[in-house]
Structure 1
Amino acid sequence: MIRGLILFYLNIKPTHGYEIQKFLQMSGSDQWAKIQSGSIYYALTKLEKEKFIEVHKEERTGSRVRKIYQITESGIEEMRRELKEELAKPIANVGSFKFMTYPITGTLSKEEMKVITRAHIKDLEEQLTYWTKWKDIKTKEENRDLEYLSFRMTINSLNDQIEWHKELLNHMDQYIALGESAKTYIRSNDFSEISDEMMDTNGDDRLQYLEKLKGEILKDPDNAVQNIDKIIDELKKQRK
């Protein structure tokens, strides 16, 4: 991401890293695109080594020498490649390790999870305040352009994340029980013995199986292993 942005900027005019950094800060792009200022200078050094940019001239400001970079012909090609790659990427990642839940709830103590989750909710709420403020400044409800949609998408995501973590916080005992049952199930089974035929299910079958699995664990954690074994036996019979 940062490489494409630097090359884009240098394709407009030769400049130095500090100007690019100030532009990102002024426009808010350092927050919106999650770009750290230190990464700009690292990327400039790397791009120069790769000969995608070169030193146009050097300027002295007091005791410091500032390098002014310009893009090369190969850099223009690299810029186009980087930007095509960025356009093809999803805006937000789909899926998260947290969605598995049980490795976390089956390992960390209740107090640890409470402290971490509360702190994370506070951080998410601060981000939500920031993004909501800037949405109100920069966009109008009647405008359905990309800028408005970008703000709405981010704000909706933050609200969803806050709700997810509050659910974990409010029903932590339930999810701790799920984590413990998952550990018992893993301890009691050798998954390498599950046949390829059993694993070769379509998406709907697998989803139904997982939902039933989760339901049995939550309903009766103490007998989760026995109940899950029954589900597997039922699945085997259905495949005969």
Structure 2
Amino acid sequence: MVRTLILYYLNIKATHGYEIQKFIQETGLEQWTQIKSGSIYYALSKLEKHEEITLVKEETHGSRVRRIYQITGLGKKTLHTMLEEKLNEELMPSASEKFVLPSMLNRLDKETAIEIINQHIQNLKAREDYWRYWQSMKVTKDSLKLDKLTFELPLVNLEYAIKWHETLIEEYDSIIELGKKQEQFIAGFNFDALEESHSLSNQNNRISELKKKILDQSQDSKMALDELITLLSNPQ
């Protein structure tokens, strides 16, 4: 997003990195973009190297030298492409690799794991407070519905993230037991033997599909493992 935002800004006027940084800070865009000052100057350097922006002049302000950039024709085309790509991105991720993590937690010390989860919950709550602050600043009775939803969606997402981690702590011991059973299954199951099977039945084809999902560690791997256990426990 940092390159898109820089190109957007320079498409309006020529300026320096510090002004773009202050714009991000003062408008609260940090909560969406997570852009740090260092990433702005790094991106400016890359954009200049790729000839998407060009250095116009250098201005001295006390001990500082500010490099003024403007967008190029190539940069304008890149901006259009980036905006089209961003428009096609998911608003909120529908799944997370973290959903697979609980089945592996028996490999961690419980006290350490709980401490990490609690700290993460505190961080999530701090982010929730931050979003609510900006919601109170930005959203009024005259705001567009889209503005209201822009704040409501992340807040709902944060609320569920907090609830998910709190439930993880609440059911931690049960989750550990399930993780141990999964390890027993993996230890006793020979995937290579499955490869050597000559059966072309629908069930064996399904088993092969499930095995691939598990090995690929896709977002469906846990569900695939559960189905695989069921199929192997109840052969036709």
- Normalising to structure 1: TM-score of the pair? 0.82
CA distance in 1, matches of 2:22, 2:111: 42
AA in 1 matched with 2:207 = M
Deviation at residue 40 of structure 1 after TM alignment: 0.5
Mapped pair 1:213 → 2:229: no
Deviations 1:59-114 (A, max 9, x none): 11123321100000111001111111111111222221221134541211111111
Corresponding residue number in structure 2 for 1:105: 105
Corresponding residue number in structure 2 for 1:151: 151
Deviation at residue 162 of structure 1 after TM alignment: 0.4
Indicate conservation of the 8 Å contact 2:51/2:72, yes or no.
yes
| Greater displacement, 43-52 / 146-155 | 146-155
Deviation at residue 43 of structure 1 after TM alignment: 0.2
| Greater displacement, 118-127 / 28-37 | 28-37
Indicate conservation of the 8 Å contact 1:103/1:179, yes or no.
yes
Structure 2 unaligned blocks of 5 or more: 195-203, 211-219
SS at 1:90 equivalent: coil
Q: Specify whether residues 210 and 23 from structure 1 end up closer, same or farther in structure 2 by C-alpha distance, changes over 3 A only.
A: closer
Corresponding residue number in structure 1 for 2:57: 57
Structure 1 unaligned blocks of 5 or more: 202-206, 215-227
Indicate conservation of the 8 Å contact 1:53/1:69, yes or no.
yes
- Normalising to structure 2: TM-score of the pair? 0.83
Deviation at residue 196 of structure 1 after TM alignment: 3.5
Indicate conservation of the 8 Å contact 2:28/2:134, yes or no.
no
Corresponding residue number in structure 2 for 1:90: 90
Mapped pair 1:80 → 2:80: yes
Q: Specify whether residues 59 and 142 from structure 1 end up closer, same or farther in structure 2 by C-alpha distance, changes over 3 A only.
A: closer
SS at 1:54 equivalent: strand
State the aligned residue count. Answer: 217
Runs of 4+ in 1 over 3 A off after TM superposition: 140-144, 192-197, 209-214, 228-231
Indicate conservation of the 8 Å contact 2:103/2:178, yes or no.
no
In the TM superposition, 1:224-239 aligns within 5 A as 231-234=231-234, 236-237=235-236
In the TM superposition, 1:7-46 aligns within 5 A as 7-46=7-46
Q: Specify whether residues 142 and 62 from structure 1 end up closer, same or farther in structure 2 by C-alpha distance, changes over 3 A only.
A: closer
Deviation at residue 39 of structure 1 after TM alignment: 0.7
CA distance in 1, matches of 2:57, 2:139: 40
Q: Specify whether residues 27 and 231 from structure 1 end up closer, same or farther in structure 2 by C-alpha distance, changes over 3 A only.
A: same
Deviations 1:28-59 (A, max 9, x none): 10122222221100000000000000001111
Deviations 1:214-240 (A, max 9, x none): 8xxxxxxxxxxxxx8664242x42xxx
Deviations 1:153-186 (A, max 9, x none): 1000000000000001111101111111111111
Indicate conservation of the 8 Å contact 1:102/1:182, yes or no.
no
Deviation at residue 149 of structure 1 after TM alignment: 0.8
Percentage of pairs with the same residue: 38
Q: Specify whether residues 22 and 131 from structure 1 end up closer, same or farther in structure 2 by C-alpha distance, changes over 3 A only.
A: same
AA in 1 matched with 2:11 = N
AA in 1 matched with 2:70 = Q
Corresponding residue number in structure 2 for 1:198: 207
CA distance in 2, matches of 1:33, 1:147: 16
Deviations 1:197-228 (A, max 9, x none): 43448xxxxx9x949938xxxxxxxxxxxxx8
